Amino acid sequence: MTTPALTTLSEEETMFRDSVLKYARERIGPKVAKMDAQNQLDDDVLPGLFEQGIMGIEISEEYGGAGGSIFDSILAIEAIASVDPAVSVIVDVQNTLVINAIRAHGTQAQKDKYLPKMATEWVGSYGLSEASSGSDAFALKMRAEKRGDKWILNGHKLWITNAKESSLFIMLANVDPSKGYKGITAFLVEKDFKGFSVGKKEDKLGIRASSTCELLCENCEVPEENVLGPVGKGYKVAIETLNEGRIGIAAQMLGLAQGAFDLGMKYMLQREQFGQPIAQFQGLQVQYAHVAMEIEAARLLVYNAARLKDAGEPFLKEAAMAKLFASEVAERAASLSVEWHGGVGFTKEFPVEKFYRDAKIGKIYEGTSVIQMTTIAKILQKEYAD
């Protein structure tokens, strides 16, 4: 990754980003191709991420975390994604979705119980999507019924990131379908709870080392104290969490774009045709100059959204813009990098084809590109109406 020409990084932030990048290159980089081919995470990756404090960035030090900010999480996600986007999404979901939700909506008892584990050993997943509930997130059909001092969950979830490795799952279920989205409630479900299981693992186009699985609840018993946030307010938990999660995916796509671009530039400077490096040809210069500009613009959008979130300022429009634009730039940068590599770029001998496959998911998960545009448009309408 080249050093961004960005003056808003403090010395401490720069050191943190560079340390994560160094770790990713040295400890994760050699495993990337094998993990992709085998469709699974290497056994050493998660312990290493925990040892580095990367899996609990925003957890306070009293719980064993790093006591960092969303901006710190974004820097880590971006750096890791430049090496392997599949590993970066594991870090993203852990920090911006699961930990974020517990910190924002958990009771003191829930924080005391789960945050120390999330900082040191437990991976988390976010169970929202279902077969009938994708962009229409609140069309979910998983049900929760109160029986004594427990809630009984029934239904299944699809496309859940980190599911194979996770010990804790935030599950969204409806306790009263007659109330529509106002019946949706969030639950903290441990993998060993009776009636809970992880189902089929998807065989995906990209980010293959990151597990994506089905979750099954068959009379799953959840203690009453594991309701996350008020009963019937799960929609609030989901909306607030996903808004931050968009910045995380934007950072992943930013890192992916940078990683693909770096490979392309190095190759074009080494590959000679007609007596000179192909980077000297004007047709390619126009292409890579434009991509470099877009990556830097994406970086500014992503960093700005994270800064706003940390400052407690409105950031929904900026997060949607960052996610939308960064995913477009990632796909474009990876595609052009394959072309810059010529024939070898189309083979698995060179790593750039993996970036190309990994990029596609950026326009799909945690809000499709169309949903991001709709969100931006609605906010703009309100701003101009006011």
Known catalytic residues? 366
- Joined together, the tokens standing for residue 248 give 């995380």
Beta-carbon contacts of 47 under 8 Å, excluding residues fewer than 6 positions away, are none
Tokens of 116: 């120390």
Encode the chain in three state secondary structure: CCCCCCCCCCHHHHHHHHHHHHHHHHHHHHHHHHHHHHCCCCCCHHHHHHHCCHHHCCCCHHHCCCCCCHHHHHHHHHHHHCCCHHHHHHHHHHHHHHHHHHHHHCCHHHHHHHHHHHHHCCCEEEECCECCECCCHHHCCCEEEEECCEEEEEEEEEEEECCCCCCEEEEEEECCHHHHHHHEEEEEEECCCCCEEEEEECCCCCCCCCCEEEEEEEEEEEEHHHEECCCCCHHHHHHHHHHHHHHHHHHHHHHHHHHHHHHHHHHHHHCEECCEEHHHCHHHHHHHHHHHHHHHHHHHHHHHHHHHHHCCCCCHHHHHHHHHHHHHHHHHHHHHHHHHCHHHHHCCCCCHHHHHHHHHHHHCCCCCHHHHHHHHHHHHHHHHHC
Q: Which residue has the tokens 């943190």?
A: 16
CA nearest neighbour of 235 among 356, 312, 140: 140
Residue 220 bridge partners (DSSP): 153
- Residue given tokens 């852990």 in the structure block: 94
Residues 6+ apart with CB under 8 A from 153: 142, 143, 144, 171, 173, 187, 189, 195, 196, 217, 219, 220, 222
